[in-house]
Structure 1
Amino acid sequence: MDPLEDVLALLETRSHLSTGLAAGGRWAMRFDAPSGVKFNAVRRGHCRLEVDGLPEPIALAAGDCYLLTRPQRYTLRSDPEVTAVDAGPVFARATGGVARVGTGDDVYMIGGRFSFGERAQELLLDGLPPVVHVPAGTEQAQAVEWALTAIEQELQHKPLASTLVAEHLAVVMLVHVLRLHLARQPHAVSGWLSGLADPVVATALASMHDDPARSWTVADLAQAGAVSRSTLAARFKETVGRGPLEYLTRWRIELASRQLRESTDTVALIARSVGYGSESALSVAFKRVTGMSPGAYRRQSGAFPDAGGVLVGTDAGGVG
């Protein structure tokens, strides 16, 4: 696996599709702060997105989509002069999987949310801006458009297992959106995500994720990227915010944490699987990173012997 695939798998990324939205004339709706990460896609028409805390609205056109990565209230509207209504009652009256506001259906949007395991905020979301906007009409956005069209077809025609297929397609869309955002705005992300935009750092990240139990040295990682140790160390620190071996330690602790939550394996066995020669070596690193021992973490997680990641809430809204 590569680093992005690793993190999305570790976080047990899931999608949850919501009620569509048809709107026309002059209209505006105010949405509560979403749980998880919201995504909306404009399939017809155009409107404006206003997010609390952001200075400027974002103009949305047919084919555009966006992710909301923070729990901030937001408004969708036709124009700035309309008083917004609360979205909750509108979606409560939805019929046929579509909520309606205004007059007509000049605008049509589909949406949903992504839920993740309990470490999503630090591992993924903190590295992204509050809004990731993917405008239509560019060559790079074609893969996103393909996924959105496939989702819409599943929702409209409802063949067998359409919900399952559409939700998997939404995760595919998420990966394409993240790829596109990293390619177009590498400086708009931080942490390990920004490292993926640097070919030297990305090679080091991929090497560590491919074999996290290996006894990596900075020299080994620099050789993989065909640069000097000092060059790798400087570029890694500048982009990721910590040195390569510190990153490796933290990734190993993430992997060990998942095993402690989800398996009945002994701490000694888990230690060897993530690159530590003994239970005590893992315990020292684990406590340094998390502030508690592996045993205390396992007990606190409440997941022993067989629980997985904690999902963020349940889907209670529509496009919002």
Structure 2
Amino acid sequence: MDPLSDVLALLKPRSFMSAGLDAGGEWAVQFDQQHKTIKCGAVVQGQCWLTVAGQAQMLHSGDCFLLPHGLPFQLTTDTALTAVPAREVFAAPANGGIVCHQGGGDCFLVSSRFALDGEHADILLAMLPAIVVIERSSQQAVALRWAVERMMEEMRDNLPGSALLIEHLSHLVLMQALRLHLSGQSDGVGWLFALADRQMCSAISAMHERPARRWTLQELAETVGMSRSAFAQKFKQRVGQSPLDYLTRWRMLLAGQRLRSSNDSIAVIALSLGYESDSAFSTAFKRVMGCSPRQYGQNKGDSV
């Protein structure tokens, strides 16, 4: 897999709710905080304001949005209106997953909320802003609009198999929105933004494909056709940490996943990630994860 797919697989996003909102007239809906979730949605018809953490953004028909931090947010035609709690709006009977508010007909939105089952949501969410908007005018948004429109049709028609199809489409919308956001970022710092750089993406891909290899700076630099010093400098500038520090962190994230999801021994996990010594692995794990491998594995029901 590629690095973005690797990390999303580690985070285990699952769509546990997709819904449509068909609103009419002047309206305002307040959504509560949802920890460890990503909200992804789109305006199919009309327009409205999206407000998160004091930031207000006007959304027009065809615009898509990501809310990566699970923060409370508001959708409204007028930011001065008093908002109705979302739980009251969505308590109304739904028609194929679409709730009609105040008669509908003026603004139609579809959205999915993804719970993150993985233990390391912070490695993705921390480097994204509170609101990510992909405007319809983007020339690269064709696939995203197609997926959103198909979701709308499936919700409205409510045909056999719609629930499963909507779940797959919602994952497509999430991935495409992340791709489009990355393609527009030239100065972001972090592994996520570095994926937009061909050379840095190649280096990260190499480490993900062979995490147990005893990579050296020289080998990684040669992999992407750069000198050792130029590669080290550029990687640090784009990712925010050195290549070998990134490799160590990725290894420990993989180790943490296995400690909580498998019965593999610490010795087996350590060896599979390139550590011949349990003590060397344990030292690195504690430095990155904040506790020993044994303690981490014992807390299978807790999140980091």
Q: Same fold (TM over 0.5)?
A: yes
Q: Does 1:157 align with 2:151?
A: no
Q: CA deviation at 1:279?
A: 2.2
1:106-125 aligned within 5 A: 106-125=106-125
CA distance in 2, matches of 1:153, 1:210: 39
Secondary structure at the residue paired with 1:197? Answer: coil
Q: Does 1:47 align with 2:44?
A: no
Give 1:69's aligned residue.
Answer: 68
CA distance in 1, matches of 2:243, 2:87: 46
Q: CA deviation at 1:74?
A: 1.9
Q: CA deviation at 1:117?
A: 3.0
Q: CA deviation at 1:118?
A: 4.3
Aligned partner letter, 1:202: C
* CA deviation vs aligned residue, 1:49-104 (integer Å, no higher than 9, x gap): 122232xx211111111011123322211234433222221111233233233344
Q: CA deviation at 1:138?
A: 2.4
Q: Is the 8 A contact 2:44 2:108 kept in 1?
A: yes
Aligned partner letter, 1:38: K
Q: Is the 8 A contact 1:44 1:62 kept in 2?
A: yes
Which range is displaced more, 153-162 or 278-287? 153-162
CA distance in 1, matches of 2:180, 2:45: 22
1:171-182 aligned within 5 A: 171-182=171-182
Q: CA deviation at 1:301?
A: 2.5
Aligned partner letter, 2:140: Q
1:273-292 aligned within 5 A: 273-292=272-291
1:199-278 aligned within 5 A: 199-278=198-277
Give 1:139's aligned residue.
Answer: 139
CA distance in 2, matches of 1:203, 1:175: 19
Q: CA deviation at 1:152?
A: 2.1
Q: Does 1:25 align with 2:17?
A: no
Distance 1:120 1:149, change over 3 A: farther
CA distance in 1, matches of 2:241, 2:22: 46
Higher RCO structure, 1 or 2 (CA under 8 Å, sep 6+): 1
Q: CA deviation at 1:302?
A: 4.5
Aligned partner letter, 1:75: Q
Which range is displaced more, 82-91 or 37-46? 82-91
Aligned partner letter, 1:215: R
Give 1:100's aligned residue.
Answer: 100
Give 1:9's aligned residue.
Answer: 9
Distance 1:297 1:227, change over 3 A: same
Q: CA deviation at 1:217?
A: 0.5
CA distance in 2, matches of 1:150, 1:63: 13
CA distance in 2, matches of 1:85, 1:262: 41
Provide structure 1 residue ranges, at least 5 long, that are not aligned to the other structure. 304-309, 312-320
Aligned length: 302
Aligned partner letter, 2:123: L
Q: CA deviation at 1:26?
A: 1.6
CA distance in 2, matches of 1:74, 1:198: 32
* RMSD across aligned positions (CA): 2.0
Secondary structure at the residue paired with 1:127? Answer: coil
Aligned partner letter, 1:44: Q
Q: Is the 8 A contact 2:53 2:130 kept in 1?
A: no
Q: Is the 8 A contact 1:128 1:190 kept in 2?
A: no
Which range is displaced more, 270-279 or 122-131? 270-279
Distance 1:24 1:267, change over 3 A: same
Provide structure 2 residue ranges, at least 5 long, that are not aligned to the other structure. none
Q: Is the 8 A contact 2:248 2:284 kept in 1?
A: yes
Distance 1:283 1:89, change over 3 A: same
Moved >4 Å (runs of 4+): none
Secondary structure at the residue paired with 1:95? Answer: coil
Q: Is the 8 A contact 1:276 1:282 kept in 2?
A: yes
